[in-house]
Structures are given as structure tokens and as C-alpha cells.
Structure 1
Amino acid sequence: MASRLNLRAASAGDQHALWRLHTRSITSLCQGAYSSHELRTWVELLRPEAYLPADPPRTVLVAEQEDQLVGFGQLDPVRGELEALYVSPDTVGLGVGSALLSALETLAWRANVRAMTLDASLNAEPFYRARGYVPLHAARRILTSEVHLVCTRMQKRQPLVLRSAAGEGPGQGRAPLPEP
């Protein structure tokens, strides 16, 4: 039986664990989508001290199982931008990414964000498509003057039922929102 997944706000004490997880996720899950040079450059730019504290109003959520960090996500609700979503390679397909994404979407919708946007890595695009995100156009993440990661700009609009619940369209009443 799988252990319970706990989502919580990240704390300053999570910096090194976030860095380790991010590094492992990139080097393992992005193989095949990017060259070894691109992956090496990406990972070399990561620094533990850069993870927290997130500048307000950013929200960083972490997912834990058995007191082990197994995923994290970062949202800027002002821009409606999902800035990061990474899971441990050991937990791919177990619902960690979906739980984090759902919680961050709930926070965005509650902040009255009309549409969530993100730059999906090539390996993560199918994950986002399966959760209602649509591709807008090809994009690039500039890491260095020589390394530009190809990615896909994606978007998901706030569900109409939530807009209706806020009194902004057809329909009446409030739709219940899941707790993050």
C-alpha cells in the first residue's frame, strides 16, 4: 500500500532537498528530450540558495511521502504562471505531479487567475496535455548564450464552472474547490 502524500508550503529548511530533487529530476527524466550538454548546463546553473524564500506572491508547495520530499511546484498567481513542477524520478506515474498541479491550480483559480500558463519541457508536454493544457507555440528557455532549451508554451483556462461560481457567467451557486 502506498504511503500518504502530504502537500505543504515549502520552508527555508527545504532548500537543499529542493535542489537535490530538481537536479535528479532533470538528469533522469529529461534524458532523451535534451542533449547531455543541455542537461549538464541546466543542472550546473541550479543553486540550493536560489529556491527559497520565494519572492511574494510566489507560492512553493512541496510533496512529501514518509518525510521524504518527492516533488515541488512553484506558482506566480499574479501572472498566472506555473514556474516549476518537478517530481522525484522514483515517483513518476504515482500521482505526485498531478496532486501538486491540482493544488497549485486551485490556488490560482481562487486568486481569480483567468488562465494558467507554463513552459513545458519536451518530456513533460504529454503530462500537461493530459491535464487540460493546450499548446500555444514553441518557445525557448535561455540558459546561456549558447544553450537555449526548446519547450512548449502551454495554457489552461480557468474552468467555466469556477467563473460561474464567482458570478461571472451563466450558472448559479458556488462550486466546491478542493483544498491544497
Structure 2
Amino acid sequence: MNVHPCTQALRIMSGTTNVSIRSAHPDDAPALGALLTESYTALLAPRYEAGLLSRALPLMTRANPRLLACGTYYVAETANGALVGCGGWTAERPGTGTLTDGEAHIRHFATHPARVGTGIGTRLLEHCIGESARAGFRPLLCFSTLNAETFYRRSGFLPIAPLAVPLTADVSLPAVLMRRDAM
């Protein structure tokens, strides 16, 4: 088995496949781009207009180099090294880089469409909630896509307000600002 040097001792059972969660690194960018493309293309289509997705997906499916280098962005991978989930948290507000004392943000979550409902996304989110809390961050906020609102609600996030996440000057994605206070 080819194990990435930063694989954590964190393993989850997902269906019949053993999946590891580890910190992401810049060399994960190509595989993450492929995962984000597969996930967002399939999972966002029911809630977003096709024309908007055709403009938004090329922007949303690029792995963010700052996230890959931050140490709080994670990937879930199978024993053979296939990435099946990703997500993380930062103290920086997405898109602005601004900091608010004690506040953290959930960032760029995705699960492979064939693995939705197997616990991978939930385990990644639980990991992020625990790690951010241990680092002293509360509350935890996220910009949820319309289709992921239920996923975040199951983990204690509550909707605050609808928002439009600007991707470029002329492309914005409708989303929901959500917040989770205490563990």
C-alpha cells in the first residue's frame, strides 16, 4: 500500500472500503481537481441552472493552493490512493482573507458522487469541527451550496442568510451562510 507521508492515524469505514483522512498537500492538486469536478458536476446540477454551472464549475473545481498548504484542509482516500472526499477549515474568511477573532470557516467540501451517503463527508466535517474547536475557534461558519444545506444542518449548522458567493466579477453562486456555535 502506498501511504502518503502525512497520513494521520484517522481511518473510517465507508461501506466496505477503508478510507484514511490526511492533511492535503500541494501535490494533491490534480487529483483534487478531478474529485471536485466529478462531485460538483453531478451533485450541483439538480439545484443550479445549467448555464450558471457552465460558468461556475471551471472556477469552483480548481484546488486552492493556499488551502492545500494550510495544514487544515484534508482529503479522504482509499487504500489504493484514490481521493473520495475533501474539505477543511481556516481562520480566514473565504474570498477575503479577513480574520474575525475566534471565528473559523468550513472550506471547499466535496465527496465523490459514488460515495455520497457513506459517511465520508460527515467524518471529514466532524474532523474539522473537532480540530477547529481544539484550536480555540468558535463559531464555525460555512458558505453552503443549496444542495449541501441539509448535510450541514445534520451536523448542527443553522442557516443565517442567503448569499451570493462571487466567483468572478460577473459570476456569483447562490448559497446559504450557515453557522455552528458550540461543540
With the shorter chain as reference, the TM-score category is: 0.7 to 0.9
Q: 1:84 corresponds to which letter in structure 2?
A: H
Alignment of 1:93-132 (within 5 A): 93-132=117-156
Please tell me whether residue 74 in structure 1 is matched to residue 88 in structure 2.
yes
| RMSD, aligned α-carbons | 1.9
Render the CA deviation track for 1:6-54: whole Å, top value 9, x for unaligned. Answer: 0001122211010111111111000121111111112222575x53353
Q: 1:170 corresponds to which residue?
A: none
CA distance in 1, matches of 2:18, 2:167: 36
1:77 positional shift: 3.5
Q: TM-score, structure 2 length as denominator?
A: 0.79
CA distance in 1, matches of 2:87, 2:106: 8
The number of residue pairs the alignment matches comes to 158
1:145 positional shift: 3.3
Please tell me whether residue 60 in structure 1 is matched to residue 84 in structure 2.
no
Q: 2:8 corresponds to which residue?
A: none
Which consecutive unaligned segments of at least 5 residues does structure 2 have? 1-14, 93-102
Q: 2:17 corresponds to which residue?
A: 3
Which structure has the greater CA radius of gyration? 1
1:111 positional shift: 0.8
Q: 2:175 corresponds to which residue?
A: 151
Q: 2:32 corresponds to which residue?
A: 18
Secondary structure at the aligned position of 1:32 is classed as coil
Q: TM-score, structure 1 length as denominator?
A: 0.80
Q: 1:135 corresponds to which letter in structure 2?
A: P
Q: 1:136 corresponds to which residue?
A: 160
Which consecutive unaligned segments of at least 5 residues does structure 1 have? 160-180
Structure 1 residues 108 and 3: alpha-carbon distance in aligned structure 2, compared to 1, 3 A threshold: same
Secondary structure at the aligned position of 1:34 is classed as coil
1:158 positional shift: 1.9
Structure 1 residues 96 and 55: alpha-carbon distance in aligned structure 2, compared to 1, 3 A threshold: closer
Secondary structure at the aligned position of 2:65 is classed as coil
Which consecutive aligned stretches of 4+ in structure 1 deviate over 4 angstroms post-superposition? 55-58
- Choose the corresponding residue for 1:40, options 37, 54, 60: 54
Structure 1 residues 56 and 44: alpha-carbon distance in aligned structure 2, compared to 1, 3 A threshold: closer
